[in-house]
Structure 1
Amino acid sequence: MSSANPTAGAGPALTAEIAARVEAFVREVVIPYERDPRRDHHDCPSDDLVAEMKQKARTAGVLTPHILEDGRHLSQRETAIVLQASGLSPLGPLALNTAAPDEGNMYLLGKVGSPEVRERFLRPLVEGRARSAFFMTEPAAEGGAGSDPSMMRTTCRLDGNHWVVNGRKAFITGADGAQVGILMAKSDEGACMFLVDLPDPSIRIERVPNTIDSSMPGGHAVVAIDNLRVPADQMLGQSGEGFRYAQMRLAPARLSHCMRWLGACVRANEIATDYACRRQAFGKTLIDHEGVGFMLADNLIDLRQAELMIDWCAGILDGGEPGGAESSMTKVAVSEALMRIADRCVQVMGGTGLSSDTIVEQVFREVRAFRIYDGPTEVHKWSLAKKIKRDWKGPEA
């Protein structure tokens, strides 16, 4: 399997054609699955439901649409167009294999993985035959890494030609049922990143807490790691380089979340608009009441601003810059805008917006969670404030 080049691109014509096929597939094939009862006890889509949708996407030629058959990765700007289309349903990213954490893990492995790593760990992900998990966050009650990864407590030590890993992880999306793991631990030299085959008896799922969101198979598990032995050649890079690889993954993955949830809010706004244009109250349709009409107008403004922020940040990444500050700004702006949009959609629809009669209620829950994962708004603002101070030159003499 050839390496996925994140900046190779496909060109505007091919990108538009891919996005159109993705949107048609989501609207015609995936959306009807939103009523499918196959869910686990955390209300997340079951693996057999996801497998069925993936097979239909495979047959339709839209599985993993952001990675071309020759291994080339769409540019970030092109990816934004395609992933927004995949996000029109909360099930869309699962069906099309553009969901987190797999999409971010594929990006990282395609960028830095050796030919052997790409064949063994990346190929099953790209082909939709495996799910993955990214093991970094740790239990807050134990003082572990969360928004501050430097607090990592999971350790690794070299023993012959293996590394031995011990620790606990928390909120590990998709760990329950994953086949590929990217695991972070700390050695004497610093952070390390490992590839692991799952399941492994040394990686034990303690519990999967109920969370506000319900779009990701396997939920967000708490995991215990007891004397896990990882072959030395399954470390990405060298001991102490783990944070560098994590940062390489972080900005694009953070931006991909924005892309997908923008698509979900586009759909929620479509539903709310349709409701407002049909529902009668006090002698006229809701859209003709200024309070409702203005909320939908504000939605259009926020949707366009979110789209432009995503495109701006994608351009920074396509230019070869790390994009840390830019992706922080975009994550804050987009997640807050999408929260306002989802909230207005619920408000416009009243009691119907609070019910599971449409996906508006779920989009509201998912976007609320999005304001936390990949860094809460406040952490990003704090990071940006530190950058402002670093860049400050002071008044000219």
Structure 2
Amino acid sequence: MDFTISPRIEDYRARVARFVADEIMPVEERAEAWDAHENIALDWLEALREKARDEGLWCLQLAPETGGQGLGRVGMAVTYEEMNRSIFGPPVFNSAAPDDGNMMVLEKAATPEQRDRWLAPIVAGAVRSSFAMTEPHPGGGSDPGMMLTTARKTDNGYVIRGRKWFITGAEDADHFILVARTSDDPRRGLTAFLHHRDDPGWRIDRRIPIMGPEEHGGHCELVYADMELPADRVLMGEGMGLKITQMRLGPARLTHCMRWLGLAKRCAEIGREYAANRHGFGVRLSDRESIQIKLGDLAMGIETGRLLVMKAAWALDQGSFAKKEVSMAKIHVANLLHKAADVAIQINGARGYSQDTVLEWIYRYARQARLVDGADEVHQMVLNRHLAEEGRDFWRWEAPGG
């Protein structure tokens, strides 16, 4: 692959970087701009979103005919990293989970009528969305084959019954993609449905308290108590639910990594700045070999993550499923984010443990990275399966005609 980005992508990267520095990061410093769940308050968010739209920085991930800029996965990797220099960055550009992944899967899988009804309002920023798949034990989590929520077919459509939990953004969402079991077929037993907040027969049981700051709408437990949906709410056809989850979760895992790299770089930035200005025992911190080793190792880890993410993004743009590449990026960058926050806090000492910087916010947020969209161990097993199947070809270089 060629690591030179196009002039168009570089233009978007520079514009996003300037917008984050000039418009978003100053908002982080204003206490009144924070909501009760440690995210950007919605009125402040909407004002920034309007500016992003005006500057043509809206929905960079989507095709122009959908309302985006068509940057592709490589362009997303470059710009998403810049967006998340600020903890408030991604939602300003309509590039935050779960809307990000939901928009991309609806763009590919929905009918024209479904795109008009279910996708267009998310693209416009008029509504938020959620992806309802994960279930409490003994239901499906990383293994969708364990799913217990059922969709029973009737003369008029389907009746949904079951329970979901840790559904990101559900409290603020209007549009939902719901995955339920329609048969016991191991490959065609799941079906994806579209439903609205106002559809009867379901409820939010609770917003689950978590360790770290929350996305808008939190992480919720949902109960479906015989919710009736018409047949036109099926996404991509009955039995295609597993395909929908694969289409959505692979790229979504990678976009998480793109954003987390921005946060890791922010940690390194705060650590370097403090080390350059803090003196102790007559020596500047940045002149101490121990600090230089920490920052040098962190810089290498970030660059390793960028290369893994870019290879996966490039493979996706070439039409590959990039399963190995995405799993490797997910494992490395999730662990890197936690390490970056930890190192920066250690360098900053008590200041890092305080709320005078965003480091403690990132540290608490980072612990979920090794769990969401597949725990480390799940992705390690995926890689081992590829290794068992491919042997030495696991590390092969792609060649023309190969």
Counterpart for residue 51 of structure 1: 46
**Bigger Cα displacement from structure 2, 147-156 vs 362-371:** 362-371
Name whichever of 36-45 and 152-161 sits farther off: 36-45
Q: Secondary structure at the match of 1:314?
A: helix
Deviations 1:2-34 (A, max 9, x none): xxxxxxxxx811111112111111111111222
Partner of 1:12: 6
Shift of 1:44: 3.9
| Structure 1, unpaired ranges of 5+ | 1-10
CA contact (8 A) 1:145 1:153 kept: yes
Contact 2:335/2:369 (CA < 8 Å) preserved in 1? no
Q: Quick one: which amino acid aligns to residue 19 of structure 2?
A: F
Q: Which amino acid aligns with 2:79?
A: V
Question: Are 2:308 and 2:325, in contact at CA under 8 Å, matched by a contact in 1?
Answer: no
| 1:333 counterpart = 2:328 | no
- Relative to structure 1, the CA distance from residue 377 to residue 297 in structure 2 (aligned partners, 3 Å threshold; closer, same or farther) is same
Instruction: Supply the distance in 2 between the matched residues of 1:43 and 1:207 (Cα, whole angstroms).
Output: 18
Distance 1:219 1:44, change over 3 A: farther
1:131 paired to 2:123:
no
| Count of matched residue positions in the alignment of Structure 1 and Structure 2 | 381
Q: Deviations over 1:325-367 (max 9, x none)?
A: 2211111122122222221111111111111111111122222
Equivalent residue letter for 2:246: Q
Q: CA deviation at 1:266?
A: 1.0
Between the aligned partners of 1:172 and 1:117, the Cα distance in structure 2 is 22
- Name the CA shift for 1:44/1:221 in 2 (closer, same or farther; >3 Å): farther
Deviates more, 1:249-258 or 1:42-51: 42-51
Q: CA deviation at 1:39?
A: 4.6
The secondary structure found in structure 2 opposite 1:103 is helix
More off after superposition, 211-220 vs 76-85: 211-220
- Specify the alignment match of 2:161 in structure 1: 166
Show the counterpart of 2:70: 73
- Of the three residues 15, 22, 36, the one matched with 1:21 is 15
Matches within 5 A, 1:132-281: 132-140=129-137, 143-188=138-183, 189=185, 190-281=189-280
C-alpha change, 1:44 and 1:225, in structure 2 (3 Å) is farther
Residue identity opposite 1:133 in structure 2: S
Task: Report the counterpart of residue 82 of structure 1 in structure 2.
Answer: 79
Secondary structure of the structure 1 residue equivalent to 2:165: strand
Is 1:368 the equivalent of 2:362? no
Which residue, 80, 101, 112 being the options, matches 1:104?
101
Moved more, 322-331 or 32-41: 32-41
> Matched residue of 1:308: which SS?
helix
Q: TM-score if structure 2 supplies the norm length?
A: 0.90
What SS does the aligned partner of 1:176 have? helix
Question: Match for 2:96: what amino acid?
Answer: A
Q: Give the letter aligned to residue 311 of structure 2.
A: W
Aligned alpha-carbon RMSD (Å): 1.8
Task: Name 1:355's counterpart in structure 2.
Answer: 354
Larger deviation: 40-49 or 206-215?
Answer: 40-49
Contact 1:302–1:338, Cα closer than 8 Å, also in 2? no
Deviations 1:252-310 (CA, angstroms, capped at 9, x unpaired): 11000000110111112111110110011111111111111211111111111111110
Task: Return the letter of the residue paired with 1:214.
Answer: P
Equivalent in the alignment of 1:30: 24
Amino acid at match of 1:31: M
Aligned partners of 1:48, 1:228: CA distance in 2, in Å?
33
Tell me how far 1:38 sits from its aligned partner.
Answer: 4.8
